[in-house]
A and B are shown apart, each in its own frame.
Chain A
Amino acid sequence: DQQVKQNSPSLSVQEGRISILNCDYTNSMFDYFLWYKKYPAEGPTFLISISSIKDKNEDGRFTVFLNKSAKHLSLHIVPSQPGDSAVYFCAASAVSGAGSYQLTFGKGTKLSVIP
């Protein structure tokens, strides 16, 4: 059972426009939601996060929105730049059965920003 879903494997956006990446989840016990960015041949890097008690968090060009009732979050990148081209992973944190926290990732969305 996939608890974190990214239904769009890829997305292409023109430079300067808005990129919107979506993520759905099923586990209502998730405490934190995050986005990671991954370039080829590199490890993922943390991009932005949001606590389950908030509905929006903004950091420069990146904004994450959380809709708990719909179990949906999205990442907005405005304006999109060619350097944003990467795979974006949605992730969520919850207490595991062992009592510590565990991070669950989606399958990723490959964003291509076209100059």
Chain B
Amino acid sequence: KAGVTQTPRYLIKTRGQQVTLSCSPISGHRSVSWYQQTPGQGLQFLFEYFSETQRNKGNFPGRFSGRQFSNSRSEMNVSTLELGDSALYLCASSGPGGLWTGELFFGEGSRLTVL
């Protein structure tokens, strides 16, 4: 069973640019959530999508957005990049009950560097 796939793995952008990150969940998983990991801050929740609908959103500015497609693949977008957006962005998928029990399956992440 293929795992969660995130692309690209690494990318470098400059301030003011925008970026789009992609996530393909495990087949059959309909919930996709996104997290930002920065040194010393742990994993901070960005948003969660289920059946193309955003169910939850974390405490991030409106520059951070996402969407989910009918095949459960998800994308997140960050506009007007700032230096502080440099981080590892992790996508996770879960099956039925996954969010309740907390058992998420994570991808390897997309490492974004903003210069």
Question: Which residues of A does B touch, CB under 8 Å?
Answer: 6, 9, 31-34, 41-46, 49, 89, 91-93, 96, 98-108
Contact = CB atoms under 8 A, between A and B. Distances in A.
A9 B39 CA distance: 11
A91 B56 CA distance: 17
Given A43-B4, A100-B48, A100-B56, A91 B106 contact: no
Nearest to A101: B99
A75 to B, nearest CB: 14
17 contacts: A32-B101, A32-B102, A34-B103, A43-B4, A45-B106, A46-B103, A49-B103, A91-B102, A96-B56, A100-B55, A101-B99, A101-B102, A103-B33, A103-B45, A103-B102, A106-B42, A108-B42
B107 interface: yes
Interface residues of B, number: 26
Interface in B68-115: 90, 92, 99-109
A78 to B, nearest CB: 23
B62 interface: no
Contacts of B100: 31-32, 93, 101
Interface of B: 4, 33, 35, 40-45, 48, 50, 55-56, 90, 92, 99-109
B106 A43 contact: yes
Nearest to B111: A41
Contact of B45 (A89, A98, A104): A104
Most buried by A among B4, B106, B108: B106
B104 A103 contact: yes
B68 to A, nearest CB: 14
Contacts of A34: 101-103
Contact of B102 (A9, A92, A108): A92
Given A43-B4, A103-B45, A93 B106 contact: no
Nearest to B98: A101
A96 B101 CA distance: 14
A103 B99 contact: yes
Given A100-B55, A105-B35, A42 B108 contact: yes
A41 B42 contact: no
